Structure 1
Amino acid sequence: MALLEDLTTVAVVGAGAMGTGIAQVAAQAGHQVHLVDAEPGGAAAAHQRLGDSLSRLVGKGKMTADERAGVLERIVIGPAADGDLAQLPPVGLAIEAVIEDLAVKQEIFETLADHQDESTVLATNTSSLDVGALSHDLATPERLIGLHFFNPPPLMRLVEVVRTTQSDPEILEQASTLMERWGKTPVLCTSTPGFIVNRVARPFYGEAQRMIEAGTADPATIDLALREHGGFRMGPCELTDLIGQDVNFAVGRSVWLQTGRDPRYEPADVQRRLVEAGRLGRKSGRGWFEYDDSGEPIDATPDEGQVAELVGGPIETDPVARTLAMLVNEGVDLVRRDEATAEDVDTAMKLGTNYPKGPHEWLAEIGAATIVEQLRALDAAFPGGRYRVSSALEDQL
């Protein structure tokens, strides 16, 4: 297998925002990067947009003109740029960053495997698909791993390094070291639905949506409670409006389906109705809130008095305690299944979602007995399996 510490040349397949951002990161680390896109002229257009973006950084004094020129020179628009992967020269690492379509990704990896040396490491930036399924038809499935960057890749420090049952441990170790050299913080996890971040984060959105659905409080009031009393930078409603209700709903539904429709991850009807109504958030002008032409919400005034009443009250109507209990439950359950370490889970949630603490830090602060009591009360109030207690918490009693 290729030694990634000796890596010189990288290919990035997919010249959208994520692919271009990954190419920028690799080029800034000193690698030659071949940028490829199936859309004719797509890679060249992405290169031009990146040049414009880097020019703005130069203008702000965040990058020198020579650094800009070096990055753009190292990103190559070559014979394979318009999608003919057979024309790609030998590379040590090929990262796929195209649409979340299993068949499309499988075809890319099969073509790369046919035309690249067996030592080339193959990586997918998928955020929702099973990495093992992508390697299923490869003669050397051990060389395919997940490298899940977060948007925007040049700014976000976290990368989930995703293993399958067949991934070569040496490649995983070298990939983690490479990500550190690229200025990132790698966390190692198993290819399970949502990996770490997109799975553990589901309750942050889901609990708010269920409280809104029940008429407990309006979106702005719940957001204020989570910001002021939970320490979150953004509330779940304003955050999903920023992400896009359709995008957030799709991720949640994907995790739910991939876990066999586990009630713990079942999407809320209230969010589904938002999506069906075209209320997708800031990008459509309406989501949980309505937005003016500058993107500012015009109807997001919270009820501060209600926040004071809810926080510290019964768990069923306390947005903060209810959300934290579920985040802890999800985090410890992931570790119990041996999908990641407690340290990596906490690191991932703090870097990938900007949470003020990780689930295990909250557990140490609140205590297992309290969390279990809260979850049992929620399960009694809302039966069906969503609030079942992880055995990892019960073992601590």
Structure 2
Amino acid sequence: MNKEIQKIGVIGAGIMGTGIAQIAIQSQHEVYLFDVQPGAAKQAQAKLQDTFNKLVAKQKITEQQMGEALNNLHIAEEIEALQHCDLIIEAIVEKLEIKQSLMKQLEAIVDESTILASNTSSLSITAIAAECKHPERVAGYHFFNPVPLMKVVEVIQGLRTRPEICNQLVALAQKMGHCPVRTKDTPGFIINHAGRAYGTEALKILSENVTSFSEIDQILKASLGFKMGPFELLDLTGLDVSHPVMESVYNQYYQEPRYRPNVLTQQLLTGKKLGRKTSEGFYRYMDQQKLDPVLSPKYSPIRHQVKRVWLSTEFQSDFTQLSQYLSERLILINHESKPSKNDLILIANYGEDATHAAQRLDVNPEQIVCIDMLGNFDRCRTLMPTLITQRKYIEAALDIFTQAECKAYVIQESLGFVAQRVLAMIVNLACDIAQQNIASVDDINAAVKLGLGYPHGPIEWGDAAGREKILLILERMTAISHDPRYRPSPWLQRRTKLNLSLNTPA
């Protein structure tokens, strides 16, 4: 029977190590904090004192709780002071050779029952443990910054890690008030792996000149409920951090097209436009405040002499919603099988551009405006004309769908609009993670919600948005573009065709 973890060693007194120490001492565990840099651990202790003072002032904790927590913290002057710990967590520099050397050093100090864990965000646990005499006791324990607020931790099982070790780390995480998610030792684990789709697909859309980066951000926040747009997020993280991660995951997966980086971020990185930290990235910043670009709209909502709308939808729910919306605004709908030469042809389509929609339906491309119905229709409407749609139809559609509380956007032609493309890629990549058995469906959903702040777990989001729609988007984009990045995951295909929830386990 495994003994309960009581004494925890933390190596590295930076932001991550200090955060891990904080939640451990608050959950009544003894912590021995060590840093190779003289005085660093003492400085971390002072920062924790300041943090707890603020928590007391805000009445988040009591004076007694602060005192008990700080009494659990011990500053280790030498690494040998960690020899009696049940668990040692390293939170040092992200360099494989240095972590391997540290693990070998610890093996010479600690008991054979001591668990050795790495807080690495990107390195292989199997590789970190490769030089150890007992690699079976080495695991990943990946927390997120800021540790006290980000209530998720990835428990990573290396190739040789004993399952019981992971069980102990799961139990410890729960005692510390965090949600543990189990994952196999693969590039990006769960959260950094699943998060690839959001930024990379937004960059692909921008590189195709579909619309501006600021409008992509606005559409994804309003339509899908993201807290930050992908370009706001890239600027916040910093391209000196984000772009190397994109390249790392792409190369670790042997140039898998799903993770393909984009030349746009490389250009900004080369030009030292890194984001907030340099006051300019995709956006410009003044005193750390984002300055939104001023864009001149190409079209204005104008009520032209468009008498009727001919409506084409692929799903009954879309037809019901659009026909009701149009009727409430006293707009006539042509219910004939074909539009007349003066109708606005409104198409609610999935995964194709307006040109392919015109060919599929055999209608006049000069009258077409397509509309994205995948996201929140009450908060955002995205419209897409063909290259030759007459201006009067575009401005009439913009007039119909612009409301005081809901902005409508007109984008250039794109396979799958903006929200469709991004959400389909997020769902598909998460399904592929499940198909590879990297983690359970429940852990994938929980990890992404807690670690990335998405409004839904990515696999359950596929069900909520409509798995048939997601599959149709990917199938059409693959067929039209011939780009393998869009190929649907077998997990998604089988469950959709069998009419099963995407959450259905294998």
TM-score (norm 1): 0.93
- Whether the 8 Å contact between 2:137 and 2:161 is mirrored in structure 1 is yes
Tell me the CA shift for residue 99 of structure 1.
1.4
2:132 is the counterpart of 1:138? yes
Report the Cα offset of residue 90 of structure 1: 0.9
Aligned position for 2:110: 116
Match of 2:178 in 1: 184
Per the TM alignment, residue 160 of structure 1 is displaced from its structure 2 partner at its CA by 0.8
Alpha-carbon distance, 1:185 to partner:
0.5
CA contact (8 A) 1:132 1:165 kept: yes
Equivalent in 290, 294, 302 of residue 297 of structure 1: 290
| Offset at residue 226 of structure 1 (A) | 0.8
Q: Whose radius of gyration is greater, 1 or 2?
A: 2
Decide which moves more: 136-145 or 15-24. Answer: 136-145
What is the 5 A alignment of 1:173-212? 173-212=167-206
2:430 is the alignment partner of 1:331: yes
Q: Letter of the 2:26 partner, please give it.
A: Q
Cα distance in 1 between the residues matched to 2:232 and 2:284: 11
Residue correspondence of structure 1 range 31-110 to structure 2 within 5 A? 31-80=29-78, 85-110=79-104
The answer on whether the counterparts of 1:350 and 1:358 sit within 8 Å (CA) in structure 2 is yes
Q: In the alignment, which residue of structure 2 is the partner of 1:283?
A: 277
Give 1:300 deviation, angstroms: 4.4
Deviation at 1:34, TM superposition (A): 0.9
2:416–2:477 CA contact under 8 A, matched in 1: no
How many residue pairs get aligned? The number is: 390
Q: Give the residue type in structure 2 aligned to 1:22.
A: I
Q: Against the structure 1 CA distance between its residues 219 and 168, is the aligned structure 2 distance closer, same or farther, given a 3 Å change threshold?
A: same
User: Gaps (5+ residues) in structure 2?
Assistant: 300-379, 385-408, 498-506
> Structure 1 residue 317: deviation in Å?
5.3
User: Does the 8 A contact of 1:315 with 1:377 survive in 2?
Assistant: no
Distance 2:480 2:281 in 1: 29
Structure 1 residue aligned with 2:318: none
1:221 to 207, 212, 215: 215
Q: Give, in whole Å, the separation in 1 of the partners of 2:290 and 2:201.
A: 22
Retained in 1: the 8 A contact 2:83–2:111? no
SS of aligned partner of 1:145: strand
Aligned: 1:348 with 2:346: no
C-alpha distance after superposition, 1:26-65 (max 9, x if no partner): 1111111111112121111121122222222222222333
Could you tell which deviates more after superposition, 127-136 or 314-323?
314-323
- The Cα shift of 1:378 comes to 2.3
The answer to whether structure 1 residue 261 and structure 2 residue 255 are counterparts is yes
For 1:242 and 1:340, how far apart are their aligned partners in 2? 28
Alignment partner of 1:309: what SS? strand
In the alignment, does 2:25 pair up with 1:27? Answer: yes
Write the distance in 1 (CA, Å) between the matches of 2:72 and 2:115. Answer: 20
Is the Cα contact below 8 Å between 2:25 and 2:31 reproduced in 1? Answer: yes
Q: Give 2:42's aligned amino acid.
A: A
| CA RMSD between the two structures | 2.1
Aligned to 1:61, the other structure's residue is in SS state: coil
- Give 2:383's aligned residue: 309
CA distance in 1, matches of 2:27, 2:46: 20
For residue 359 of structure 1, the aligned residue among 454, 458, 475 is 458
Task: Specify the code of the residue in structure 2 equivalent to 1:297.
Answer: K
Structure 2 counterpart of 1:375 = 474
Q: 1:112 to 1:292 in 2, by over 3 A?
A: same
1:298 corresponds to which letter in structure 2? L
Q: Percent identity over the alignment?
A: 37
* TM-score (normalizing by structure 2): 0.73
Q: For residues 226 and 302 of structure 1, what CA distance do their matches in structure 2 show?
A: 18
Measured in 1, the distance between the counterparts of 2:296 and 2:462 equals 29
Offset at residue 207 of structure 1 (A): 1.1
Instruction: Check whether the contact 2:416–2:473 (CA below 8 A) recurs between aligned residues.
Output: no
Q: How big is the shift at 1:168?
A: 1.1
Render the CA deviation track for 1:208-236: whole Å, top value 9, x for unaligned: 11111221111211111111100111111
- Going by fraction, where is helix more abundant, 1 or 2? 1
1:251 maps to what in 2? 245
Superposed CA offset, 1:309-357 (max 9, x none): 2579876252211111011111111111111111111111111111011
SS in 1 for 2:224: coil
- Counterpart contact for 2:431–2:489, Cα < 8 Å: yes
Conserved in 2, the CA contact under 8 Å of 1:315 and 1:322? no
Q: Give the alignment of 1:145-156 within 5 angstroms.
A: 145-156=139-150
Give the drift of 1:302.
7.2
Q: Distance in 2 between matches of 1:296 and 1:219?
A: 17
User: Which one has the bigger strand percentage?
Assistant: 2
- In 2: Cα distance, 1:303 partner to 1:173 partner: 57
Gap change, CA 1:125 and 1:250, over 3 Å in 2: same
The superposition leaves residues 49-89 of structure 1 with CA deviations (integer Å, 9 ceiling, x where unpaired) of 22222222222222333323332332211232xxxx23433
SS in 2 for 1:395: helix
